[in-house]
Chain A
Amino acid sequence: MLSRDQVLHVARLARLELSEEELEVMAGELSGVLGHIEKIGELGDLEDVAPTSHVVAVENALRADEPRPSLPREVVLASAPDAAQSGFRVPSPGAAPA
């Protein structure tokens, strides 16, 4: 069973905040799922098995390093929640009290 502190730690890493109620549910559900997942431990020693991250054998895909047009700035900024001075405006990273 994941502890409350473990769940809070993972939530901080994931940039999520959980209410007290969500925290309890999440701890129970994650523990339940991990209980099933931990069965892959039963497979024994996999020391000599190479991990697979990409399934289809493919050589490096390279292309000529030629400049191509990007999307126009105003088109990209049209989706921004807060655009200012041709950029994305965000709150200060240091505005919060310590």
Chain B
Amino acid sequence: MNELLELTAAQAAEGVRTHAVDPGELWSAYRERALADELNAFSWVSGEITPPDVERNAPLAGVPVAVKDLFCTAGIPSQAGSRILEGYRPPYTATAVERLVSAGAPLLAKTHQDEFAMGSSTENCAYGPVLNPWDRSRVPGGSSGGSAAAVASGAAPWAIGTDTGGSIRQPAALCGIVGLKPTYGAVSRYGMIAFASSLDQAGPLTRDVTDCALLFGAMVGQDPCDSTSLAFPEPVGLPTATDLRGVRLGVPEELSGEGIEPGVLETFHDSLDRARDLGAEIVDITLPHAPHALAAYYLIAPAEASANLARYDGVRYGLREPAEDLLAMYTHTRSKGFGAEVKRRIMLGTYALSSGYYDAYYGRAQKVRTKIAEDFTAAWQVCDFMVSPTSPGVAFELGAKTDDPWAMYLNDYCTVPIPLAGLPAISIPNGLADGLPTGFQIAGPAFSENRILDTAHALEQAIAFDGSKARA
């Protein structure tokens, strides 16, 4: 294998900056590697043989980036994993992608995903499932499964995805890489093909925590095109912490016992021991409403999705099924263009919002959301961060959960309370259970990303996870 591919993105950037790495060779090495991908990670790979002019002193120094399909990229297919957007080439580029490009990261590829980010296995991709580089009979997680598989397999130096209920953190965990879901509003949503607007947030998927901080720092910031975006309150620094003295890690009983596979729990407790060795104080906390987060999420997210996906009507872009009259054109187009899971969520959301059910479902879910946010606020009185396993299980076999929607939804059990409260959380590789990666999740108060990254960095050094097997 080309030794350039073994460098972390931050190392490659430093190499470019010091003229030890030629950015053209770096681009070619990754482009060839991406074109040779056998995991179905990519929906599009750049046809450019040479990269655009690289500014060696730019923050991302010419290290190419892979981007989840649902980010609009001008003139480049942006299909969100759906047939209804097959071949769609948007007229503009998402702000998050523009920021990365202007920070010096050329666009290498787009990555496959669950259709409209609805899924936890990337099996809901209309263009075929993505495979897990640790075991090709297994899923990479989802919905940002293509981005996770691409980074874990070494086919991209780093990537971005989106997280609504766990779609960055869970695939990062299942593929043995780092994934960060930022504070709601930290990264502009402009140009992200919307799923659930009050929850969707873009973030990095990277080989290590340093890469994560570097990429995240280039994405954040207020955007006039997204009125929910906020200025990040401080510069994003590169993590340096090597110990955890004075850090209180809160372990919620609700997310660290029942329902978690034994192998996952074992690696979680190993990492807690390491954190203790590094000086952290481990405290028991309680998030009494967390067990109800999944129910609240599967009302709120489908309700928002049913409204957001009303725009796919065959009029302005994407698929159109011809019909005699307008209403038939809408229904034929939507029925043909959407996959089974998307239809299921639109139906669920429409039902939850329909007359007579609104108060019992959507209205109540929004109140539960308040209670979940209050649980976290109370937790921050006794701990600095909440920690838990990222996913209740390791990567499962393709097809294992496709017949039982709730079994699939349970993958989000540990990740879903956090976006409901708008909080940031990272997943870092936690070791292996039965030869498959598990994830360690660290969540903190709004805009605590710098401290989360520092904590994750100290723990990462102690865990010393070896992801090279997935890149072999």
Residues in A lying within 8 Å of B, measured CB to CB: 2, 6-7, 9-11, 13-18, 22, 26, 29-30, 32-34, 36-41, 43, 46, 49-56, 58, 61, 63, 71, 75-76, 78-82, 88, 90-96
Interface residues of B in 221-268 (CB under 8 A from A): 224, 227-228, 230
Which DSSP category, helix, strand, loop or mixed, fits chain B's interface? helix
B158 adjacent to chain A (CB < 8 Å): no
* Cβ contact within 8 Å between B354 and A10: yes
Q: Are B347 and A71 in contact (CB under 8 A)?
A: no
Whether A40 contacts B295 by the Cβ 8 Å rule is yes
Of the A-B pairs whose beta carbons lie under 8 Å apart in the complex, a sample of 27, sorted by A's number, is A7-B347, A11-B347, A15-B310, A16-B334, A40-B364, A41-B360, A52-B369, A52-B370, A55-B421, A56-B183, A61-B227, A63-B224, A78-B91, A79-B91, A81-B315, A81-B317, A88-B315, A90-B326, A90-B329, A91-B322, A91-B323, A91-B326, A92-B325, A94-B325, A95-B325, A96-B325, A96-B327
Size category of the B interface is 35 or more
Residues on A with C-beta less than 8 A from B338 are 16
In the complex formed, the residue of B with least CB distance to A83 is: B316
For residue A92, which residues in chain B have a CB less than 8 angstroms away from its CB?
A: 325-326
Q: Which residues of B contact A58 (CB under 8 A)?
A: 185, 228, 230
CA distance A80 to B317 in the complex (A): 5
B318 neighbours in A (Cβ, 8 Å): 79, 81
What residue in chain B is nearest A25 (Cβ atoms)?
Answer: B340
Interchain CB contact under 8 A, A10 and B422: no
Cβ proximity bits B313-342 to A, threshold 8 Å, 1 near / 0 not: 111111110111111111110110010000
Known contacts being A14-B350, A26-B347, A33-B405, is A96 close to B230, with CB within 8 Å? no
Complex: how many Å from CA A90 to CA B320?
Answer: 10
Which residues from B are CB-within-8-Å of A95? 324-326
Given A93-B325, A93-B327: A53 touches B347 (CB 8 Å cut-off): no
- Minimum distance in angstroms from A15 CB to a CB of chain B: 5
Chain B residues, CB < 8 A from A18: 335, 343
Pick the contact of A79: B89, B330, B334, B350 (CB < 8 A). B89
- B365/A40 in contact, CB under 8 A: yes
- Complex contacts, B292 vs chain A, CB 8 Å: 39-40, 43
Closest to A68 in B: B224
